[in-house]
Amino acid sequence: MDRTLIERLRGSRWIVTGATGLIGSCLVDFLQEQNRLHSADISVTCAVRNIAKAEAMFGKAGDGISYYEYDFSSGEPFCPPYEADYLVHLASPTASKDFAERPVETLGTVFLGTRQVLEYAKRAGAGMKGVLYVSSLEVYGTVLDDTEPLTEDRQGHLDLMQARSSYPMAKQSTECLCHAYSAEYGVRVMTARLAQTFGMKVAEDDNRVFAQFARCAAADNDIVLFTEGKLRRCYCHTADAIEAMMYILLRGETGMAYNVANENTYISVRDMAEMVCREFGRKMRVRIEPKESMGYSPTTYLRLDTSRIRALGWQPKYDLKQMFASII
């Protein structure tokens, strides 16, 4: 990462929501690493539902780390006891099946939970240098023409009458809410639209497609797809995503959204499964066994354009094979 950005982190105070999740834990590790490598004097408050789980990951409170117990589905005011210069809001439902089976809770947690964060940032005023809302490539909905990559101002179709749309609609509405707080109250908030992101620290019980494929490869078991695997999208390594967040917070434009992905990883689920078998397996193969009611998103082709964030100086370093190599 650009050395000038690292220097700007020196002495900064951070709040990270969803700190025990995949990306949140990598972000906390990154900030703590700056203290170890550069004596950066960075302090981090982890906003989490389970402090014991967070302590098992990051250690007891003290020496630059503190905890604030908060449930984003509670509707309670977000009032961490520590001031911050930067806030990264990662807390969000992640299980695709829950989006279909618990759409009300999904909508409430994403939208209303984020409003509590924005209210906190509004109260903090000029002392809050930047808020980053971490969104998803799912905000683009269903796109069936990938002739041109998706820039941040394009939009596909979302079927509002499908319960599974609760997640992309909640993310989309929350992006609008972030922009509204920026326009009306001057909150310096930006949005990162992350491609599906993986790398170090993927949990053993993670049930997303990349984690399933990695576990199959490690055991040389067949990969079983419950769809035809036609969905296509880009991916991003966790380390690249963390650096992207720094570039957005420290160089980004208030109220703006940024696609974050390695454009060269654009691939269908079926082709990715075949790649994993070819590169990491011995006898494993791909089997198609269609199954209903799994909560998967509709088939869509999400080829992201990352020109906007690359203009800030960010470049991804990891390709798809390297991403899988880091978790198998």
Whether residue 295 has pLDDT greater than 70: no
Number of domains in the chain: 1
CATH at residue 282 = 3.40.50.720
Whether residue 251 has pLDDT greater than 70: yes
Dist CA 120 CA 118 (whole Å): 5
What does the pLDDT read at residue 167?
96
CA angle 215/271/291 to nearest 5° reads 70
CB of 250 within 8 A of CB of 188?
Answer: no
DSSP of 157-219: B--TTSGGGHHHHHHHHHHHHHHHHHHHH---EEEEEEPEEE-TT--TT--SHHHHHHHHHHH
Phi, psi of 297 (to 5 degrees): -70, 155
What does the pLDDT read at residue 6?
87
Top-confidence residue, 12 or 207: 12
Domain around 301? 3-325
Whether residue 293 has pLDDT greater than 70: no
pLDDT in tens, 130-167: 999 999 999 999 999 999 999 999 999 999 999 999 99
Dist CA 163 CA 112 (whole Å): 18
- For 3, 50, 168, 259, the CA distances from 235, given in Å and listed in that order, are 26, 29, 17, 11
Average pLDDT, the chain: 95
Dist CA 50 CA 35 (whole Å): 25
Dist CA 165 CA 159 (whole Å): 7
What does the pLDDT read at residue 294?
61
Top-confidence residue, 217 or 2: 217
